[in-house]
Structure 1
Amino acid sequence: MKKLSLFVLSILLISLSSRLSAQNTGTLKGTVTDSKTGEPLIGATVVLEGTSTGASTNLEGNYTIKDIEVGSYNIQCSFIGYVTQTKYNVVIRSTGNIDINFELQEDVEQMGEVVVTANPFRQSEITPLSRQKLSQEEIVSYPGGNNDIAKVVQTLPGVSGSVGGFRNDVIIRGGAPNENVYFLDGVEIPNINHFSTQGSAGGPVGLLNVSFFEGVTLSASSFGAQYGNVLSGVLQFDQRTGDDQNFAGNFRLSSSEAALTVEGPLFKGSKESANTTYIASVRRSYLQLLFGVIGLPFLPDYWDYQYKVNHKIDKYNDIYVTGVGSIDDLAINELDEFDAEQQAVQDQIPVIRQRSNTLGIGWKSRFKDNSGYMLTVLSNNYLNNQFQRFEDNVNETGLIFKNDSEEMETRLRYNLTKFNGDWTTTYGLDLINADYQNTTEDLVNNVTFGTDLNLFRYGLFAQTSTRLLNNRMGLTVGLRADGNSFTKNGNEIYKTISPRASITYDLTADKKLTANASAGRYYKILPYTTLGYKNNAGEYINENTEYIRSEHLVAGLEYLLTKSSRLTLEGFFKYYSDYPVSTIDSVSLANKGGGFEVLGSEPVVSNGLGRTYGAELLYQQKFTGNFYSIAALTLYKSEFSAGDDANYAPAVWDNGVLVSLLGGYKFGNNWEVSGRYRYLGGSPYPPVDQQATLNNYPAIIRDYSRLGDVRLGGFSQLDIRIDKKWSFKNFSLDLFLDIQNVLAQQQPSEPQFGLERNDQGEVVSPKNLVRVDTNADGSVLPSIGIVINF
């Protein structure tokens, strides 16, 4: 209540001051280019939809619109011979407006008198379906997201997160969290979370700054041949280019962190705009302070940083340098008073210290005759993970598990794209040098080893796309093959040949109804934690493993209800083979990676099978009439086997039903109310083997033979967010109240066990494992955030 009172008081004070110093107009600028060649379009018209306010692009393809009344607009861009494009829900402030750039597609229609509806959701021929996008405004104003990009992504159709844990896993259509790949402006990054699970990608808190993004694109079940080592989804984070004219930035304070972002030109001199720009940020958590005051048993402490520098060499050549990194420390908090549940958490949670860093350099060169372009990206990923569990976590004594490891990858990606009439052809290669060093002491399984592994990975691909039948049909075919220098069959690249194809066809002449389909084969190498595992004799016993193989079939329909809304229906099927199966637990590794452990550091065999299949219905309306919405229903089944002759069992990601509703309404005077509702069906979990756990406590031993016998209850949550924006002469201010779990629904959780203790917290002798009661009440979690744009 005190926080809410301060929030209301702040609004009243700022409202009063705004009467004296409000700035009611802002400026919008950006560029317009050909989406295919990247050539600037001179004389393109950019207008605020429904008004006469606009501007035309200059010789460099740039436009500037001044004196725009603050508020939210749809921005429309048109040019003779090109399809008109609209950017929805663009917020104009007095300061802090990001560039709105357009990439227009050439209009090759020859439809006579038929009126063709411009499709704001139009997909490419390469990924004609299972592809979703979020704009910058949708990302930063997402209800319940707390400015966490991993949580924001979970609102997309077919995407769920872990239930019953402090996790940020991205689970796409029943696949495991480590089946996805992530790209930051063409630079592959290994994970998007702090305190990440090594060998997987999930963690409790996202490490990417939402202020950086121009947009986010998810491709599920349908990827081009340029993407390797992926089985479920490709997430592309498109970062903004820093302001080329003025210094700008924002400061953000939320319920868990403080963030500062700055951007501007470099070496501008007396020119109107600079050829070199930068954008950089740093974020600092104060969760460790809040958790300490509340008395929670663990203290998550993190920093992260992100940056990007762009330089325009000339009209045809651009280079950029980008990077992101984190410093993570998960410490144990000694409890002042005994609490059975908190004590069990304190006993079992690991001590984690991580350092991660990604650095990438990209060069894009357009050919002067507009016949194509090439993109070269050199990058380096680094992760240092110190993961330990002790009998006494507070004093860090009685070691029971230790993983002290370093992963480093140096990558070279080269893509060459050529245009030949209606055909677009892309060739490329990926070269990766990987180093993995590890010291492991596992007292539970009586394994101790040290690893110093170096391996070389490579991939080759080619694909071509075109439009046929008077532009009504789009067709893409591609081929990829991958290899490595470590596994026994790694250089037999004929075993990883990956054919891929997609087709799209306009069923009606006005392009309102479209049929889409894709089919492909995909391969993924096992994580370094698995490849680098040794037995006590010092042997790489997983050297004989195979690439995981998956075949995807997807088909669907898309119908444009209006110029800004659509309805889609898709069916999907994924079949897995050669999935690694743990010889210790007799379970597919697809059912691991959703907790705080090291995924895959164990002996495995490549004989597991798996399948996920289902259907997805989506309705989406872009910002129209002050309202926007997304509604999605996914029905699916996810199951894996523990061997090629074993029966299928439900996967731990088998929620069965996913419902996602997102919507918002913008009132006058820059007020906005938005909400998100999410429902996930109950997921199975492996019960605790109580006798084995008692013998090895605080290690928790699962009985995977009973996976599918018990399930969590269904999970639903409603989040509401209220935003208010003010604009002043030299800065603008955004305040928001975010209320999570408005309906106070209890989050389902697995039964928790700990050692029996007396009222003073002392372990009862002889030792006995007992179930620990957890708080059964759902909690409403209000939080306040502030963003100052300058």
Structure 2
Amino acid sequence: MILRSAIFLFLLNCISAGLFAQSTGTLSGTVTDAKTGEPLIGATVLLEGTELGDATDVNGRYTLTNIPTKTYNVKASFVGFVSQIKFNVVIRSEGNIDVNFQLQEDVRELDEVTVTPNPFLKEEVTPLSIQKFNQEEIAAYPGGNNDIAKVVQSLPGVSGSVGGFRNDVIIRGGAPNENVYFLDGIPIPNINHFSTQGSAGGPVGLLNVSFFEGVSLTASSFGAEYENVLSGILQFDQRNGDNREFNGNLRVGSSEAALTMEGPLFKGDNPESNTTYIASVRRSYLQLLFQAIGLPFLPDYWDYQYKVNHRINKNNQVYLTGVGSIDDLSINELDDFDPEQEAIQNQIPVIKQTSNTVGIGWKRQFSDNSGFMETVVTSNTLGNEFYRYEDNVNQTGLYFKNDSRETETHLRYQTTKFIDNWTLSGGFNVINADYNNSTEDLINNWSFNTDLNFFRYGLFVQSSANFSESRIGISLGLRTDGDTFTESGHQLYRTLSPRASISYKLTENEKWTLNASLGRYYKILPYTTLGFQDNIEYFPNSASDYIQSDHIVGGVEYLLNDRARISAEGFFKYYRDYPVSTTDSVSLANKGGDFEVFGSEPIVSAGNGRTYGLELLYQQKFTGKFYGVAAVTFYKSEFTNLFDNDYKPAVWDNGTLISLLGGYKFGNNWEISSRYRYLGKAPYAPVDQALTLQNYPAVFRDYEQLGSVRIDPLSQLDVRVDKKFNFQNLSLDVYLEVQNVLAQSSPSEPRYGLDRSEN
């Protein structure tokens, strides 16, 4: 009945709002040379299927007005450059963000051959294992709830933790802490609220999708400028604020409300300003919902995000950007609850967490257009108060305390030069790491206070080029990293990490493409592990090695037409020197997917691992009505434990991943879309009931049994209906989303609680 009422109100609003609709909007943006950043004067920008178009001015800017409010594909063309299409661009009466194009120079001389334009263009450095989203695709994702972590979990080879309130990103069977995240080239330690310290996952994302111009995920073939990555790189390209007028955006969802504002600064009487800002704040009311429906814990959070950009002149610009959060996970004392709720209330930690990242960057284009340089200085801080009590309600009987603060200060410099058809780049990074921790662990009899400060550093070079009229693309890179803390930290030869990739268009019409990459990557252990001390104030993990991962990836892609493709990609990752816990003899690759302090224990760098599989993908860009993605991945994820060289299934070994996404746009700005996800049975370590009974509410797992039992597969269908309204000075997007339409039970491990008597 509630659902019927919601639908009725939804339709009533649609009918009444239509009486006051405005039917046109405006679209602006720039067209520039992708290599030099120079504006392309006289480039043509057209809306496909219409006669609406414009030519760019001396600043490379175009403006289209009086556009009927619906969804378009926008095409930019310029003589001597490869045309580019931006798909699924929604035109509203207000709030349209700039659509910018970076065109690649066209070096082909194939007048007698019809070449199919590739809407999935990649760079020589990453010719495969990369996926990209625009803002509209993220915001309208069924089941995504404007959460980028949930959106990427539907990509080929990507999954999330099954069961529980988790938002981990698992890429090709690798652990959640094997990924890195960048915001406009600025590293951010995590993208989730209530994040697992030392790892990355949490129950809900903290980034505002209204900021994004685009998001890309790279699952292999990493550029040499990226350090400390083993499985994946998520790059968030933030847009600049509107340089002409003030705009605001209010988003109200089922669990939160977010306000975003943007506009020019110091504009004066000029039509455009050289300085812009965009800022947002978001507040959760999830805690009120949880309290109303009687859940035993209350997650409460704020987050904020901002960016200020200033163009000094045509060759220089600086930007300031940041993101942060305030999290509080408290216990809800219930008068009446079932055994499962009681177990959750007993076992869940009490968490207070703050995070803040701020960075300033300077981009300088060389005046002769021969290259550019970028300097970035950033600082990120994570404060984590993590407590476990025997009595969570009254917060008595403390048996685990982690009160910590970790801060990184980064300096990164990179310069890039263009020499003929070669692109050469090189640079360095220096990181000062400051880690403070006060830990009391009564269960394992550990007590220590850490005050650790040391430096990390790295050097890198990268070269790439294309030959034979861009039919062949190659890339070569080399990187090395060191630190001043670990015993082998200054032995840079131990972390030499070469990487190479090649792309070859098999046919002259460029429909068939063969891609391959080979690389070695390294990652230092998290500060929670490096900063662990034993009871004699010794750092036993200072003898640890960097984790090594070797990637071999190959694939083939076929363009069905200028907006659809099919591809197949095989991958193999081999790990060496993976940390293994000496406490419970299990690889740390099998931890980090729970609410815990990951890696704060003694380890040895003695583990191996491997993940391998096959990804199949069909992708259809927006045709004017329909878009869709179908992806299937078959893979294995296995790691060794202490004193055991036999490979055992990892907790991320789902075996099969299926993701289906599709949407159809009707007239009058209606849209229906759906997503289906299937994750195969995942192994888990069962609870050691005898040991848990002795130490309850602390829970112990029997890692010797990991792989002997698995949870049920996940099968979930989400459906979403969107309707967009356009008024004189306001646009309104309304959607109705039903998650888990098939009403499948969420797979989860058995939960154990203490069987109490009435006394």
TM range (shorter): over 0.9
Tell me if the contact between 1:295 and 1:336 (Cα under 8 Å) persists in the aligned partners.
Answer: no
CA distance in 2, matches of 1:195, 1:667: 39
Which residue in 1 is equivalent to 2:130?
Answer: 131
**TM-score of the superposition, structure 2-length normalised?**
0.99
| Superposition pairs of residues 708-723 of structure 1, within 5 angstroms | 708-723=707-722
Aligned-pair distance for 1:441? Answer: 0.2
Superposition deviation, residue 642 in structure 1? 1.0
State whether structure 2 residue 201 is matched by structure 1 residue 202.
yes
Q: Is the 8 A contact 2:71 2:624 kept in 1?
A: no
* Cα RMSD after superposing both structures: 0.9
Correspondence for 2:560: 561
| Shift of residue 9, structure 1, vs aligned partner | 2.0
Task: Report Cα offsets for 1:756-777 as digits up to 9, x if no partner.
Answer: 123x5x4xxxxxxxxxxxxxxx
Aligned identity (percent) is 67
5 Å-filtered alignment, 1:14-163, equals 14-19=14-19, 21-163=20-162
Distance in structure 1 (CA, Å) of the matches to 2:603 and 2:176: 19
Q: Report the equivalent of 1:453.
A: 452
**Counterpart of 2:200 in 1: which secondary structure?**
coil
Structure 1 distance, partners of 2:665, 2:643, is 54
**Is 2:45–2:76's contact at 8 Å kept on the other side of the alignment?**
yes
Mapped partners of 1:10, 1:679: distance in 2: 30
- Give how far 1:15 is off: 2.4
Partners of 2:684 and 2:493 in 1: CA distance: 38
Amino acid at match of 2:77: S
CA 1:214 to 1:644, structure 2 compared with 1: closer, same or farther past 3 Å?
farther
Aligned equivalent of 1:469? 468
In 2, Cα distance between equivalents of 1:48 and 1:395: 62
- Distance (Å, rounded) in 1 between the aligned partners of 2:633 and 2:346: 38
Secondary structure of the residue that 1:293 maps to in structure 2? Answer: helix
Q: Matched residues in 2 for 1:18 and 1:185: separation?
A: 39
For residues 71 and 112 of structure 1, the distance between their equivalents in structure 2, rounded to whole angstroms, comes to: 36
Alignment partner, residue 590 of structure 2: 591
Structure 2 equivalent of residue 359 of structure 1? 358
- Check conservation: 2:422, 2:464, Cα contact below 8 A: yes
Aligned to 2:678: 679
Report the secondary structure of 1:291's partner residue.
helix
Structure 1 match to 2:324 = 325
What does residue 256 of structure 1 align with?
Answer: 255
> Does the 8 A contact of 1:430 with 1:459 survive in 2?
yes
Which residue in the other structure is 1:5 paired with?
A: 5
Deviation at 1:2, TM superposition (A): 3.3
Distance in 1, matches of 2:312 and 2:643, equals 55
Distance in 1 separating the partners of 2:337 and 2:726: 50
Q: CA deviation at 1:330?
A: 0.1
- Matched residues in 2 for 1:431 and 1:189: separation? 15
2:17–2:725 contact (8 Å) kept in structure 1 = no
The answer for the alignment partner of 1:316 in structure 2 is 315
Distance between the aligned counterparts of 1:640 and 1:756, measured in 2?
35
Within 5 A, what are the aligned runs for 1:635-654?
635-643=634-642, 645-654=644-653
Cα distance in 1, alignment partners of residues 470 and 237 from structure 2? 29
Q: 2:705 maps to which residue?
A: 706
State how 1:339-378 maps to structure 2 within 5 Å: 339-378=338-377
Give the Å deviation of 1:289: 0.5
Counterpart in 1 of 2:422? 423
SS class of match (1:623): coil
State the alpha-carbon separation in 2 of the partners of residues 135 and 277 from structure 1. Answer: 21
Distance, in Å, in 1 between the alignment partners of 2:53 and 2:287 is 48
- Describe the superposition over 1:639-679 as per-residue Cα deviations: whole angstroms up to 9, x where unpaired: 00014752110000000000000010000000000000000
- Tell me the amino acid that sits aligned with residue 129 of structure 2: S
The corresponding residue for 2:388 is 389
Amino acid at match of 1:408: T
**CA gap 1:264/1:645 in 2 versus in 1, 3 angstroms:** same
Contact 1:609 / 1:644 at 8 angstroms: preserved in 2?
A: no
Aligned to 1:408: 407
Q: Is the 8 A contact 1:553 1:572 kept in 2?
A: yes
Q: Secondary structure in 2 aligned to 1:375? A: strand
Paired position in structure 2 for 1:691: 690
| Corresponding residue of 1:773 | none
Q: Is the 8 A contact 1:613 1:638 kept in 2?
A: yes
Determine the C-alpha separation between the residues in 2 that align with 1:623 and 1:524.
39
Q: Secondary structure at the match of 1:262?
A: strand
**Matched-pair contact (CA < 8 Å) for 1:351–1:387:** yes
Partner of 1:270: 269
**Matching of residues 567-606 of structure 1 within 5 Å:** 567-606=566-605
Instruction: Report the equivalent of 1:501.
Output: 500
The Cα shift of 1:156 comes to 1.1
Residue pair 2:27, 2:91 contacting (<8 A) in 1 also: yes
**Would you say the 8 A contact 1:506–1:513 is kept in 2?**
yes
The reply to whether residue 529 of structure 1 matches residue 511 of structure 2 is no
- Cα distance in 1 for residues equivalent to 2:542 and 2:600: 13
Match of 2:611 in 1: 612
CA distance in 1, matches of 2:209, 2:337: 39
Residue 218, structure 1, aligned to residue 217, structure 2:
yes
Aligned residue pair count: 759
Aligned partners of 1:459, 1:598: CA distance in 2, in Å?
27
Look up the SS of the partner of 1:231 in the other structure: coil
**Cα distance per residue 1:154-179 (max 9 Å; x no partner):** 11111100001110000000000000
Whole-angstrom distance in 2 between the partners of 1:172 and 1:239 = 23
Structure 2: which amino acid aligns with 1:45? T
Q: What amino acid sits opposite 1:398 in the alignment?
A: G
Cα distance in structure 1, aligned partners of 2:360 and 2:669? 39
Which amino acid in structure 2 is aligned with residue 657 of structure 1? T
Distance of 1:629 and 1:440 partners within structure 2 = 49
TM-score normalized with structure 1 length: 0.95
Q: Compute the displacement of 1:407 (Å).
A: 0.4
Q: Can you list the C-alpha shifts for 1:142-195, whole angstroms capped at 9, x where unaligned?
A: 001111111011111111000011100000000000000000000000000000
1:231 aligns with: 230
Gaps of 5+ in 1: 763-790
Specify the alignment match of 1:174 in structure 2: 173
The answer on whether the counterparts of 1:18 and 1:728 sit within 8 Å (CA) in structure 2 is: no
AA aligned to 1:537 is: I
| Structure 1 consecutive aligned stretches of length 4 or more whose deviation exceeds 3 Å | 1-4
Unaligned runs of 5+ in 2: none
C-alpha separation in 2, matches of 1:515 and 1:9: 52
| Contact 1:263–1:278 (CA under 8 A) maintained in structure 2 | yes
Q: Do 1:179 and 1:230's aligned partners in 2 also have CA atoms closer than 8 Å?
A: yes
- Return the letter of the residue paired with 1:683: A
Amino acid at match of 1:281: S
Q: Give yes or no for contact 2:499–2:518 (8 Å, CA) kept in 1.
A: yes
Displacement of 1:362? 0.8
Measure the CA separation in 1 of the matches of 2:657 and 2:483. 37
Rounded Cα–Cα distance in structure 2 between residues aligned with 1:297 and 1:26: 47
Match of 2:754 in 1: 755
Question: What is the match of residue 776 of structure 1?
Answer: none
Matched residue SS, 2:594: coil
Equivalent residues of 2:582, 2:642 under 8 A apart = no
Q: Which AA in structure 1 matches 2:452?
A: L
Does the 8 Å contact 1:655/1:682 carry over to 2? yes
**Is the CA contact 2:72–2:624 (under 8 Å) kept in the aligned structure 1?**
no
> Residue 543 of structure 1: SS of its match in structure 2?
helix
| Aligned mates of 2:395, 2:642 — CA distance in 1 | 39
Deviation at 1:117, TM superposition (A): 1.2
CA deviation digits over 1:42-77, x for unaligned, max 9?
Answer: 110001012110111111111100000000000000
CA deviations on 1:446-488 (whole Å, 9 max, x unpaired) are 1000000001000100010011233211000010000000000
